[in-house]
Amino acid sequence: MADADDRIQTGAATTAQKTHRYLRLSLVLVVFALVLSVVLQSAVVSWDPLVLGWRPLPSVSHAVYTPARDVFVGSLIAVSIALLALSGRSRATTLLDVCAVFAPLIAIVPTGIAPTTIGPAGIADGIGAGGLPCPGPSDCIPSDYLASAKAGIAVYGVTVVAVVVATAVIRVRRREPNRSAVVLSVVALATATVVAALAFVPVVNERFPFNFWPVHSIHFVVTLVFFALFTAVPILYASGPLDAHETPPTPRQRSIYRWISGLLIVDLLFLIAAVAFRQVFGETPAVLIGELAALLLFAGFWWVQTFQRWNDADPPSIAAPRSSGPRASEP
């Protein structure tokens, strides 16, 4: 441990320290890219030829129906990978791992389009002059996007199984029991099974992806679950360090964590109200406002975490603690 302390004091950093610093900082930059893409898409009526204006998207998730789709999907996949890469054994890192399970589904299963947004003045203008077909009075997903969602779910399910099997084999070969990894594996397999059933089992897939009542949309459910789980993370950090090797948060950082968690709770309630009573809000993009607020709070947390844990001598790891070594991983 003395060698580690010397490296910190002299300004040198281990590879593990640099990796965890840049992973946390990358989560801030990914959110920046996603928010920027939504703002630009709201300010550009047409990309070819370039025509500027102001037509805010109904929500961040509606970016999937615009030229900003690649940034939207790529950002969420990047967030998932970064959260998994920060895996550890504390309660907070376990929650972040579970968040990583749901993040890809936000990108894979698109949000529904309300019939009122289809047409010359709606979101369809960002895709093509002909608009998107949305039969009936309820929300819908165009058939092409529906097929893409089902293909994505198939890949997601197979990937989850592959990752769970690979990590189980590694734990057995290294003889490193990990309760957090087992919990994560169970949650991931259960989530993949449920979503695959809702997409492909004839008895329940008739209304896919609007299978849930009363919120209907799978997209909205997984988005709420993601941010609800994440809300607990700053609450945990506000109480102090979660393991002996972690740099304790300063009183100011603890206060920021409490504010972030409190504002996230208020924002989640606002999002639920915005979806449930969207007719009351009229043309005001309430869901967009709520989602942008959630993203900024998410980025704010990782900005504070980056500097709180900049000099952590022993970054979190899913590896079991080694009593014989000079440095231990997270308990």
Enter the tokens of residue 255: 């206060």
- Taking residues 207-219, report their average pLDDT: 76
Q: What is the dihedral of CA 90, 167, 106, 310, to 10 degrees?
A: 40
Q: Let me know if residue 284 belongs to a domain.
A: yes
**316, 87 contact by CB (below 8 A):** yes
Domain limits at 48? 15-113+210-308
Mean pLDDT of the chain: 82
Asked if residue 294 belongs to a domain, the reply is yes
> pTM of this prediction?
0.83
Name 47's bridge partners.
50
Sole residue written with tokens 């789980």: 229
Check residues 318 and 146 and name the one with the higher pLDDT: 146
Q: So what's the pLDDT on residue 325?
A: 44
Alpha carbon distance 79, 100 (integer Å): 7
Give the orientation angle of helix 218-238 with respect to helix 251-276, to 10 degrees: 160
131 found inside a domain: no
Number of domains in the chain: 1
Instruction: Please check whether residue 315 is in contact with residue 16, taking contact to mean a CB–CB distance below 8 angstroms.
Output: yes
Q: Looking at the domain assignment, is residue 224 inside a domain?
A: yes
In a domain, 56, yes or no: yes
Say whether pLDDT at 167 is over 90: no
Residue 328: band (very low, low, confident or very high) from pLDDT cuts 50, 70, 90? very low
Q: Tell me the per-residue pLDDT of 42-78, one tens digit each, with 9 for 90 and over.
A: 998 888 888 888 888 889 999 998 899 999 999 999 9
Structural domain contains residue 277: yes
* Amino acid making up residue 199: A
* Residues with Cβ within 8 Å of residue 82, at least 6 apart in sequence: 23, 26, 27, 30
Answer yes or no: is pLDDT of 5 > 50: no
143 within some domain: no
Average pLDDT over residues 191-201: 93
For 93, other C-beta atoms within 10 Å of its C-beta total 24
Question: What is the DSSP secondary structure assignment for residue 216, as one 8-state letter?
Answer: B
Other Cβ atoms less than 10 A from the Cβ of 235: the count is 17
Q: How far apart (Å, rounded) are the C-alpha atoms in residues 100 and 286?
A: 26
Give the gyration radius of the chain's Cα atoms: 21
**Angle at alpha carbon of residue 27, lines to 318 and 107, rounded to 5°:** 95
Q: pLDDT at position 52, please?
A: 87
Classify residue 140 by its DSSP letter. Answer: B
Instruction: Specify whether the CB–CB gap between 83 and 67 falls below 8 A.
Output: no
pLDDT at position 311 over 50: yes
Residue 122's pLDDT band (boundaries 50, 70, 90)?
very low
What CA–CA distance (Å, rounded) separates 108 from 149? 5
In a domain? residue 88: yes
